[in-house]
Amino acid sequence: MTWTTRRIATNGVELDVIDAGTPGDPVVVLAHGFPESSYSWRHQIEPLVAAGYRVLVPDQRGYGASSAPTDVAAYRSDHLAADLVGLVDDVGADDALFVGHDWGSMVVWDLSRLHPDRVRGLVNVSVPYTAWPARPTDLFRALIGDRFFYILYFQAVGPAETELEADVAETLRLTLWGGSGEMFGPPPDPLPPIDGTGFLDSITRGAPVPDGVPTWMTADDLTTYTEQFTASGFFGPLSWYRNLDADYEITTDLPPPSVPCAFIGGTRDGVIAARLDTLDEGHADLPEYRGSILINGAGHWTQQERPTEFNAALLELLARVS
């Protein structure tokens, strides 16, 4: 199967988008997280097309060669959601199925609240729906105190960019190892102090990192990611985190998602590992929640680490929410 990569103008930006499948088939939009790109969905595109879907996979704003605004506020979730809706408009569809991973899940959760009429259904991965009771950074500061937490570290423009861009290949290699099922482990107790701690220190939890790349990826995969983040830098991707409070403000008065939705997670994903038994209970306020599937042994990079199991789960859940 040949994939077409198109440059699509949407919502005031231009995104590089993989477009695969037959026009007129139900549209599925795959939304990546951090630090990823459309490439993170490389194992899903052909199975989805074979199952009868038209698949759109963008490098979202700030990533790869897609537009990268220089204003932090340009990365609010309402802008990111509108970017994805514009892709659906571009192919002439009334609605789409949306699948998000990591930060992409957070964007898709918000999209389903901001534009419910454009969402046929959604399947999110790794990040469950979260109804924040207050500004997220205030909650993190109250919980973490004077200890290091990467999301708070990302809030200031400059320090994180300097750290992550110093050696892009090593940044990505360590991050992919650190979030993988192969290096899964509990967070250090106590957490490291704010002073003198960087993101890469925290992501590997002080554990020795093996040479090379995890078994579920290749050296060529790492080269692809490195080329993309060398081109984009980290300001755009990190600015998604800098809008957590703004995203809370623009969505706090909206009702929870009311569209058909479901969830996929890995049992060794640090985002959810402590609440595996309560994932479905945590989605109880969503009136059209259709359940979850957990993939044993998968870490945070769920669709890349266990593509065969993930694809089976995704196709089952897309059928439930369609």
Annotated catalytic residue within 19, 59, 102, 269: 102
Which residues touch 69 (CB under 8 Å, ≥6 apart)? Answer: 13, 61, 62, 75, 236
* Pairwise CA distance, residues 48 & 9, whole Å: 24
Q: Is residue 98 a contact partner of residue 84, using CB atoms and an 8 Å limit?
A: yes
Which residues touch 44 (CB under 8 Å, ≥6 apart)? Answer: 30, 55, 303, 307, 310, 311, 314
Q: Is residue 44 a contact partner of residue 311, using CB atoms and an 8 Å limit?
A: yes
Nearest to 266 by CA among 215, 308, 303: 303
* Pairwise CA distance, residues 37 & 59, whole Å: 5
- Active site annotation includes 102: yes
- Active site annotation includes 300: yes
* Pairwise CA distance, residues 190 & 201, whole Å: 14
Point out the residues that are catalytic: 102, 300
